[in-house]
Amino acid sequence: MKYGIIGYSGRMGQAIEKLFSKAGHKLVYQKDENSEKETEKPEVIIDFSLKEAFPKTVRVIEEKKVPLVIGTTGLDEDDFAKLDKLAEEVPVIQSFNFSIGINILSELIKKVNQYVDQDWDIEISETHHRFKKDKPSGTAIMLGNLLDRDIEMHSKRLGSEFGEHEVDFASTGEVLTLKHRAYSREAFTRGALLSAEAILDLKPGFYSFPEILNN
C-alpha cells in the first residue's frame, strides 16, 4: 500500500512509518508544518498532526480525494462537520485512541454506566508525556462522553508517559476503578495500520474505529 503521513516528523508520524514499513507499505507522501513531499499519489493518508494543522489536512484530502485515517485530537464540532463533508467523497476513519484496550475499556464503561446512579461519584484521570499540547486528552473526553453526566477530569503531564486513562466510580462504601495504560506507541499504530488497510475496501463515509474492529 502506498500511504502518506500528515505529521510525519512527530512522535506518532515516526512510529507510524516504523510499523508501516515493517508491514511492507511504501511511504509516498509526507507533510509537516513547514514541509511537504510527494513521490507518488498515496492510496491513503494517515493524519496524526495537531488541531492547528487540521484546515490544511482538509485541503489536502479535498485536493487528493484519497481515504483518510485521522487520530489527531483537540478537534471540535466544526472540525467534525468538515470531516463529515470529506466523508461524502472518501472514506474517513477517525479515533481519538486507536488502541484495542481503550476500545474495550469504552465497552466496559458503557456497561458500568447502566448500574451506577447519582449516588455514585465518577472521575476521570489521564497521564501523558510532558510534550502533549492538548489537555484533557481526546481519549478522556471521549470516555467522559459515554457517561450520563458531566465528569471531573484530571490531567498529569509527566516525562515520556505514552498514555494512561483511569475511570473511578465511587459510592460511600466502595470504589470501582477501570484503567488502561499504553506502554508503547505501538498500542496506537497497530490500530492505525488495521484501519489504513481496511479503509481501501470501504465506500465513502465516516467510520469510527470500533466499526472497523467489529467488521
Ligand X SMILES: O=C(O)C1=N[C@H](C(=O)O)C[C@H](O)C1
Ligand Y SMILES: NC(=O)C1=CN([C@@H]2O[C@H](COP(=O)(O)OP(=O)(O)OC[C@H]3O[C@@H](n4cnc5c(N)ncnc54)[C@H](O)[C@@H]3O)[C@@H](O)[C@H]2O)C=CC1
Residue 211, contacted partner among ligand X, ligand Y, none, CB below 5-8 A by kind: none
Tell me if residue 180 is catalytic.
no
- Which of the 8 DSSP states describes residue 51? G
Q: DSSP secondary structure string, 90-156?
A: SEEEE-S---HHHHHHHHHHHHHHTT--TTSEEEEEEEE-TT--SSS-HHHHHHHTTSSS--EEEEE
What is the C-alpha separation between 203 and 42, in angstroms, rounded?
17
CB 144 within 8 A of CB 106: no
**Is there binding between residue 49 and ligand Y (CB under 6 A)?**
yes
**Residues annotated as binding site for NAD(+)?**
7-12, 40, 71-73, 95-98
The catalytic residue among 25, 31, 128, 180 is 128
**Is there binding between residue 106 and ligand Y (CB under 6 A)?**
no
Q: Which stretch binds ligand X (CB under 6 A): 18-26, 51-59, 85-93, 136-144?
A: 136-144
Whichever of 47 and 120 has its CB closer to ligand X, that residue is 47
**Is there binding between residue 125 and ligand X (CB under 6 A)?**
no
Whichever of 90 and 95 has its CB closer to ligand X, that residue is 95
Cell of 39: 513521490
43, amino acid identity:
E
Tell me if residue 128 is catalytic.
yes
Angle at 110 between CA 107 and CA 114, to 5 degrees: 145
Under the rule (CB under 6 A), what is the footprint of ligand Y? 6-13, 31-33, 48-50, 52-53, 56, 71-74, 95-98, 134, 138, 188
Q: Which residues are known catalytic residues?
A: 128, 132
